[in-house]
Amino acid sequence: MPRALKLFRTAIGFHDAYVAAPSRKAALDAWGTDKDLFARGVAEQVDDRDLFKRLAETPGEVFRRARGSAKDHLDALPPEEPAPKKQPRAPKPPRPKNDAVRKARAALDALESEQADEAAALRRKEAELARERRVMEQAHVRALDDAQRQLEELQAEYDRALAKWHDA
């Protein structure tokens, strides 16, 4: 003998979903969920004889009925608040002036150019000093060679005179 049918209801958005089923498990299956909606308190068994008679003819089939009327839903809404006034946008601040940066960049460029000129002048002086040093070193070498030659000539002359003196 088939089990007796019971009427179950759960809320689905603005609708109530009713189903005639022999058990809570069968009702959950009809609703397509594996969660225990009864334990959560969102599904219940109801006694509505007129609806039960309609659904008993098609057990396991879900019947949806609007929960309240459109007027009930609209009445439940909070009163409309006026839209907030749009605040005028604050004026965009003016673009910062670039004058100081331009002056600093020009001063930096001038300083770099001046330093490059000074470095080039110093390199020219270094080259001139190196040339003067070479000329001076060559003059020293010639003077030393002349002095060495003169010393050798005088020494040879002295040695000859000394030898002559010993022989006399």
Q: Are 65 and 15 in contact (CB under 8 A)?
A: yes
Domain parsing of the chain, residue ranges? 6-67, 99-167
pLDDT over 60 at 1, yes or no: no
User: pTM higher than 0.75 for the full model?
Assistant: no
Average pLDDT of every residue of the chain: 89
Neighbours of 9 (CB within 10 A): 20
For 133-161, the pLDDT digits (tens) are 999 999 999 999 999 999 999 999 999 99
Which pLDDT value is given to residue 73? 65
Sign of CA dihedral 125, 128, 133, 136: negative
pLDDT above 70 coverage of the chain, percent: 96
